[in-house]
Structure 1
Amino acid sequence: MKEKKKELLGALKKRLDGNDVVENQVIKLALKKLDGARDDGWGVYYSKSGRRLVAAKKTIEGAYAVKDETQEICDNAFWGCAYLRSVAMPATVTRIGDEAFARCLSLESVCVPSSVEEMGKNPFVGLDSKVVNCQSAAFTIDAKILYNADRTRLISCMTDASMIIVPKTVTTIGSLAFTRRSKLKKVQLPDGLDRIGRDAFSDCGALEEIVIPASVMTIDPYAFASCDRLRKVTFLGTPKRLARTAFSDCDNLLSVIVPDGEQKAFRKLLHVTEDSDMLVLGNEQ
């Protein structure tokens, strides 16, 4: 058991260091929310009213049952609880927050009750679909991907498949939806897609190429950040809002194909200078 813990802890800390801004922000937010919160005796903290599960100690192990009358699992509540194996939620829970179960490396089972009406940014980062049992009619899991009920919002990719075809119904790829899916090489985005959220494909280390449909109007910050093997991006149209950090730290991205006559606009959007290593080219055809 001791060796297993060391292995899990090593995996959890693999990307962490003292300068990791994201991790530090998570910790600070948790500490802020803990002000006035009460420990239930298992290392899990609830708001004074008991209606919000605020945070859990990273050392929590085994199975955990959320207290009756809890209405919200807060943002990052179980983030990084590497030894947690299962979570049962009461039928009073209506919201599951951003990254609520992210990096729960040992999690084998979490049941989303029928009462859940809202989910934040990918609550299940890094989890496999077999771990999540969704009983809420407000959401659906199909082909190991979590969507809202009408499948217009893609919330969480819960598979390590190398190829994903996003359904035509999807208009929004949510923040963090595909983040850290290290085996994802190709993804086909549908015509009709309108928005790619913050960090949607960040840290997809195997992703090699992406075609952005003309329908996409917004690409949020860090949407494709740190995709180490991303070499080529093809835009079939010109988004109204394209964050300059959308392709941050994509060191091998040297070719950005854009519609004819739009090179100047894209250079401005991406803050690419004439002498930059990133090439912004006209349509190849």
Structure 2
Amino acid sequence: MDTAGFHVDQEQGLLIRYKGHDPHVVVPEGVRVIGEYAFANNKDLYSVELPKSVTELGSWVFDRCERLGSVYLPEGLEAIGNNAFYACYNLASIHLPSSLKRLGENAFWGCIHLQSIALPEGLEEISHCAFKMCLKLKRVEIPETVKSIGRWSFSDCESLDGLVLPKGIRRISDHVLSGCKSLTRLELPEGITQIGEWSFSGCVSLGALILPKSLEEIGEWAFKGCTGLQSMDIPAGVKRIGANAFHSCTALKRIEVSKDNVFYTSVDGVLMNRSESLLIRYPVASEAVEYHIPFGVRQISDRAFGDCVTLERVEVPESVDHIGDFAFENCRHLKVVSFRNHLAQVKDDTFKKCPELRLHLGLQAFNGEDLHKVIQSHDVEPERILFPFVSVWSKVPLSRIPELKACVESDEAEIRIQYGTYQRLFEVVDTVDEKVELALKRMVHSVALTAENYEIYHLYLRNNLKKCVWHFMKRHDAQAMLQLIEHGVIHTDNVDQIIEMANTGKHAEIVAMLLQYKYEHSSFAEDKYTL
């Protein structure tokens, strides 16, 4: 039945849709449920009063009611549905009745002017993203009756400077406070066993956080970018610390672990596993300029030394077999990494953004052979173990050995590899095939690669695109073709040309890969190409 703009199913007590244009609306008595999208996208609506008979707000009820500033919610209301007040930009405050049990997903997402809200005793569930992007929300006290707080619930609440958590929760959900830039302190109640992935990432003002003794797990990236944290104490009960949990904590000077923890330990403020065979995280803000990795460490985790801008020299013992991705990324003042007589296996990006880096190797690193001879004889061992682009050096003409020696020096004590002079090799290589291979490998394996030199290699590949593509197609090198895509040499404006070349050469695997890229990034005619 339609009355004064209200479309109501009186038998079910359901308000299906409000079709009027009044700025101030009073919903008639007898309505028990406000249906999905009932007021959605109403640009005329300023205020709404709901009758005492209403017990439920459906999903998307006030979605994008951008001028809505006042809503009366009656006692008796038990549930606010998903996205109920989604992007109600003008809503500055709202009173929630004591009868409310559940806040749905995205309930107040993007209410950018919402400054305060009192959550009633009796509320049991705060669903995912309930207050995400409430940019002006300052303080929230969550009642003891709440047992579940969903992912992203307060994410990107940039003004939130106070949050009280209930004692009954057991888990800090993924991303729950990520991006809360103004949060300075938080008390985590005993009983919490898990901190989820990215839970506190980007909480740049969080100066201290005491982890409860009940804690058992810290998720991946949990404290990423918490640039105010100066120390962290890991309790005895923690069984798992996810990868990169303390990445970009630029003020972190030490990480300590309870002596009773059987899974982790701290050695001079450096986080390791209990057996001290895995170095997990070196504190970013350590003031030491030199660090000797303890003998017995066998593996260095991904990003273990990332952003340690004070470090200038690192000694790697012969016990280390493997160094992870980005392990020394952005150690921009790192001048020397010494491997002694054993070469650990490193990844392509282990030393990314280390512009001053020089590697020192013991003379026995290559079984006592002079490294120049190893390279000139096309020995594959250096490439397999250490630097994926070392074999390219063998392409330097014998007449240009001085350029090679500018990159590799050796004496009676050690071998030194200087990446900063690598550009010289590119300039003296003779053939286009060798030059495109050198350029791509240097872009992919970017140890001490400056933005200026990266652009030199990129420009050369772009200017010699056909020759570059033919070189890798002749070798059926699909991996190199994928790298050309990843680095923007092959892109949407030229992919059709490259597909035609691959199709002509009957390189089915490469054609399929290029078609997939085209399908994902541009308009696509399925019947134009055949495999």
Does the 8 Å CA contact 2:72/2:95 hold for their aligned counterparts?
A: yes
Amino acid at match of 2:206: L
Check if 1:150 corresponds to 2:132. Answer: no
Residue number in structure 2 paired with 1:207: 229
Count of aligned pairs between the two proteins? 219
- Give the match's secondary structure for 2:237: coil
Does the 8 Å CA contact 2:103/2:126 hold for their aligned counterparts?
A: yes
Amino acid at match of 2:192: V
- Give the match's secondary structure for 2:323: coil
Check if 1:128 corresponds to 2:149. Answer: no
Check if 1:274 corresponds to 2:323. Answer: yes
1:112 aligns with one of 88, 95, 119: 119
In 2, the alpha carbon distance for the partners of 1:214 and 1:194 equals 9
Superposition deviation, residue 66 in structure 1: 5.2
Check if 1:53 corresponds to 2:59. Answer: yes
Superposition deviation, residue 110 in structure 1: 1.9
- Give the match's secondary structure for 2:71: strand
In 2, the alpha carbon distance for the partners of 1:221 and 1:78 equals 36
2:250 aligns with one of 205, 211, 229: 229
In 2, the alpha carbon distance for the partners of 1:120 and 1:185 equals 28
Q: Provide the TM-score with structure 2 as the length reference.
A: 0.32
Give the number of the structure whose residues are more often helix, by fraction. Answer: 2
Does the 8 Å CA contact 1:69/1:90 hold for their aligned counterparts?
A: yes
- Percent identity among equivalent residues? 22
Superposition deviation, residue 95 in structure 1: 2.0
Amino acid at match of 1:229: T
Superposition deviation, residue 83 in structure 1: 3.5
Cα deviations by residue, 1:218-242 (Å, 9 ceiling, x for unpaired): 44677556x45254563634769xx
Give the number of the structure whose residues are more often strand, by fraction. Answer: 1
In 2, the alpha carbon distance for the partners of 1:80 and 1:222 equals 33
Does the 8 Å CA contact 2:164/2:186 hold for their aligned counterparts?
A: no
- Give the match's secondary structure for 2:92: strand
Change (3 A) 1:87 1:122: same
Higher RCO, 1 vs 2 (CA within 8 Å, ≥6 residues apart): 1
Say what the alpha-carbon RMSD is for the aligned residues: 4.7
Change (3 A) 1:238 1:199: same
Change (3 A) 1:98 1:224: farther
Cα deviations by residue, 1:105-148 (Å, 9 ceiling, x for unpaired): 4212323234421123574466322xx46566347xxx943323
Does the 8 Å CA contact 1:196/1:223 hold for their aligned counterparts?
A: yes
Amino acid at match of 1:137: T
Superposition deviation, residue 193 in structure 1: 1.1
Residue number in structure 1 paired with 2:239: 217
1:263 aligns with one of 258, 277, 299: 277
Change (3 A) 1:163 1:93: closer
Change (3 A) 1:196 1:101: farther
Cα deviations by residue, 1:39-62 (Å, 9 ceiling, x for unpaired): 415659xxxx96433473283542
In 2, the alpha carbon distance for the partners of 1:144 and 1:96 equals 20
Superposition deviation, residue 85 in structure 1: 0.2
In 1, the alpha carbon distance for the partners of 2:228 and 2:85 equals 28
Residue number in structure 2 paired with 1:192: 214
Amino acid at match of 1:207: L
2:71 aligns with one of 29, 40, 64: 64
Does the 8 Å CA contact 1:206/1:228 hold for their aligned counterparts?
A: yes
In 2, the alpha carbon distance for the partners of 1:95 and 1:101 equals 13
In 2, the alpha carbon distance for the partners of 1:122 and 1:196 equals 21
2:145 aligns with one of 124, 129, 137: 137
* Runs of at least 5 residues in structure 1 that lack an aligned partner in the other structure: 1-35, 241-254, 280-285
Amino acid at match of 2:271: I
Change (3 A) 1:184 1:87: same
Amino acid at match of 2:39: D
In 2, the alpha carbon distance for the partners of 1:80 and 1:205 equals 30
* Runs of at least 5 residues in structure 2 that lack an aligned partner in the other structure: 1-34, 44-54, 148-160, 281-298, 305-321, 332-531
Does the 8 Å CA contact 2:181/2:204 hold for their aligned counterparts?
A: no
In 1, the alpha carbon distance for the partners of 2:228 and 2:244 equals 16
In 1, the alpha carbon distance for the partners of 2:86 and 2:250 equals 28
Residue number in structure 2 paired with 1:38: 37
